[in-house]
Structure 1
């Protein structure tokens, strides 16, 4: 069967290659009135191109022959299924390119398509496979992973007894999918720089249908919104716009300020990044992409006024897990001075991938361009630098732990002096509405202890007061 296929392949190649030579001869021998014949150097160029095509044909013929020999003569026929060999060859073809260019098997392609639609079966984690590791960057609420104690920042080291490494990371990823109701065994650990010992935990989870709502929104105070965008899936911009508009209706059309949390957002669909940005920007460039030709932008995305929301002060939270599409949003809002970016340096994934379906049901995910912010900044391997840096929550916790365990190296304060006078706060409750409570008392538990969200909220309220004063003075 394979020999017949091989002959067909060769026939196609032979049909193509002579046709290429015929076209060259036509170009070389054609006479056009009033046109100066091309210089002799063109003949060398044509010859070089023909040689390149000839070598390509020889390489394809060698591949076809090797495939035929393995299928017909290898000692163990059970391990030389031609479909499997071809898929491995396709994976090998992309293995030495950038980490985002890869061949997707039929199942992987199906899983990828399902991920971006927002509904899939699994355990409820978003992972970053860069560098041959599976780092958990997001855990979906009320998912099997969350109930098992897996948290953002953990590393998965084993999936159904497959040790995760650079060679089999795609296989490990595929094993995380399966029929709803089936079990999945994982091993994971939480990094701890203070300890040289890695403690690995082993858990067995039952796969469920995961429904991913990409937008989570809370009211932090009167007129102030916190919204977390977890991934740029198909309806991300629609969900975000709807949530903000509903908030405006409940608050009589007034939004005093918005915190957009893009921390640990791995990205997603480029068009959704553009649409989300367009909610806050009504004109001008959002992002541009440049491919092979550095002097010619392949695509420039502009904001459209009819898609934008009303103006209000805005802060965007980012961290090292903010990547790809989320960096496009942060970079555009920063360049256009629409929002203040707070947090830590972002991941730096500034390339654009295209998914091309293949005849075997798989697909090729390949990097086709770099993307640039409105001011022409490349994010690739650089990331977005926050306007206001904030220490990360994990590092802050470790610093506080060290400080509580030891006073070594800490500067002396008034409280350390002998016979110091004790503090006595003034009771100002009578000056306030007794029913009024602190804003944070109404926050979800996950936000009450979040230092970065608290910092952003305090800054946002200050911005709101300044804006109100400006408007009152007619400036």
Structure 2
């Protein structure tokens, strides 16, 4: 079994699988063995030791007695078993879903360009954010919108990964979504037909704003993919050479990704201090520290909103609690759980909640989010309006980063 570590927020955990003795193991079929391996992974690593206050061993006996005549029946049994945990983040990833997840974090995909989650209260599939410049954004889909149907299929009857797979597809093909507005709860659901396209996952966009007394480097991070940290380093170094004197880091509508990338990026800005604490099932506290040379000591403001989630919240919380930056915008999404990916022998995978995280000030933000230092609400704007006069949050960040440097620069 190969263990891979990932996040919607994800973290590098070192785990050694202990071998469980199973009487008459040779008598089990290949399908039963796959189910038992999935059961053991959860039993050994799931964050909640009570496993949702149920007898996990008794559940094992129940599911091993099911008729597992083929791989689909085995997958269905594993999914049914995991559903008893009542945790949408702990789930089976069938081989095609597992592969798609790996492709997604590597930086390329084809589909509509939506980052989605399960709302823990409504149980509906909810939009974290559309990707910048994606077909979904062009169709007017916004953060917190709920997806009720996909091509006529009731979204309540499918898993999060099945929903994602249904929205991916060949460039030029169409998919129909039934959307409930998250902004206006009284609005009637609407049908939206979207043409799939190749989605660019270039994680970083930068520009130099010279419209103020100081040159301000604007850095927008769209996703914590595998190359995000390297891209940030290269782009900020370029901005430094262009004379940037202050920075705005835009994490709005960034749903997260690889937590290790978030930790590496935090280390580029924080000159000593804790990045994040992790708490495992035994309550043991671990931490990641800043121990590397920073890119710049220039003043920094971070933009956040309700689409800022997971690894983005870890980065924002680290910068806020270490007093390296002020946060401007709206309260963040509030996802403070950590998943690890476990690869199964047949190419499928398990995403399992293995820990939770706390900000450097030991704040648990799960379902609560992070409150900005300067709350600025604004109506949704288009991709083209980001970092322009129409972007009120950006304008406030620009005012702060150019007019209150003594508050923002840690070195001062």
Q: State TM-score, norm by structure 2.
A: 0.78
The aligned residue for residue 203 of structure 2 is 214
How far does residue 232 in structure 1 lie from its aligned partner after superposition? 0.8
Q: Which residue in the other structure is 2:234 paired with?
A: 242
1:377–1:264 CA distance, 2 compared to 1 (3 A) = same
Partner residue in 1 for 2:279? 290
Higher relative contact order (CA 8 A, sep 6+): 2
Whether the aligned pair in 2 keeps the contact of 1:139 and 1:150 (CA below 8 Å) is: yes
Decide whether the 8 Å contact of 1:191 with 1:198 is kept in 2. Answer: no
2:295 maps to 1:309: yes
- Cα 1:281–1:466 change in 2 (3 A) is closer
Give distance in 1, aligned partners of 2:160 and 2:104.
Answer: 18
**Matches of 1:352 and 1:311, distance apart in 2:** 30
Q: In the TM superposition, what whole-angstrom CA distance separates every residue of 1:38-64 from its partner, at most 9, and x where no partner exists? A: xxxxxxxxxxxxxxxx994x7656534
| Distance (Å, rounded) in 1 between the aligned partners of 2:385 and 2:272 | 38
1:29-40 equivalences in 2 (<5 Å)? none
Q: 1:225 to 1:163 in 2, by over 3 A?
A: same
Distance in 2, Cα, partners of 1:59 & 1:199 = 39
Aligned mates of 1:122, 1:107 — CA distance in 2? 15
- Offset at 1:10? 7.8
Q: How many residues align?
A: 358
- Structure 1 residue ranges without an equivalent (≥5): 14-53, 72-81, 398-442
CA contact (8 A) 1:345 1:385 kept: yes
Change (3 A) 1:268 1:9: same
Alignment TM-score, normalising by the size of structure 1:
0.68
Structure 1 218/189 Cα, relative in aligned 2: closer, same or farther at 3 Å? Answer: farther
User: Does 1:377 find its partner at 2:367?
Assistant: no
Q: Name the structure 2 match of 1:90.
A: 78
1:286-335 deviation digits (Å, cap 9, x = unpaired): 112120122x32x42121233x1120111111222211111111111111
Is 2:89 aligned against 1:100? yes
Please point out which of 375, 394, 398 is paired with 1:453.
394
Note the C-alpha offset of 1:228.
1.5
How do 1:254-265 residues align onto structure 2 when only pairs under 5 Å count?
255-265=244-254
For the residues of structure 2 that align with 1:121 and 1:444, how far apart are their CA atoms? 22
Q: CA deviation at 1:104?
A: 1.1
Does the C-alpha gap of structure 1 residues 59 and 216 become closer, same or farther in structure 2, counting only changes over 3 Å? closer
Partner of 2:323: 337
After the TM superposition, which residues 23-422 of structure 1 pair with which residues of structure 2 at under 5 Å, given as runs? 56=57, 60=60, 62-67=62-67, 71=69, 82-97=70-85, 98-131=87-120, 132-165=123-156, 167-193=158-184, 196-205=186-195, 207-221=196-210, 222-251=214-243, 255-294=244-283, 296-297=284-285, 299-306=286-293, 308-390=294-376, 392-394=377-379
**Cα distance in structure 1, aligned partners of 2:56 and 2:161:** 31
2:209 and 2:267 map into 1 onto residues whose CA distance is 24
Q: Quick one: structure 1 residues 285 and 200, their matched pair in 2 at CA, closer, same or farther if it must change by over 3 Å?
A: same
Max radius of gyration: which structure? 1
Q: Deviations over 1:70-93 (max 9, x none)?
A: x5xxxxxxxxxx211211111112
Which of the two has greater helix per residue? 1
The answer to whether the 8 Å contact 1:348/1:380 transfers is yes
Where does structure 2 lack aligned partners over 5 or more consecutive residues?
A: 1-23, 33-54
Q: Taking structure 1 as reference, are residues 137 and 55 closer, same or farther at Cα in structure 2, changes over 3 Å only?
A: closer
Residues in 1 aligned to 2:56 and 2:357: alpha-carbon distance in whole angstroms: 34
**Take 2:247 and 2:264, find their aligned partners in 1: how far apart are those partners?**
17
Residues 92 and 224 of structure 1, relative CA distance in 2, 3 Å threshold = same
Q: What SS does structure 2 have at the residue aligned with 1:228?
A: strand
C-alpha distance in 2 between matches for 1:464 and 1:108: 46
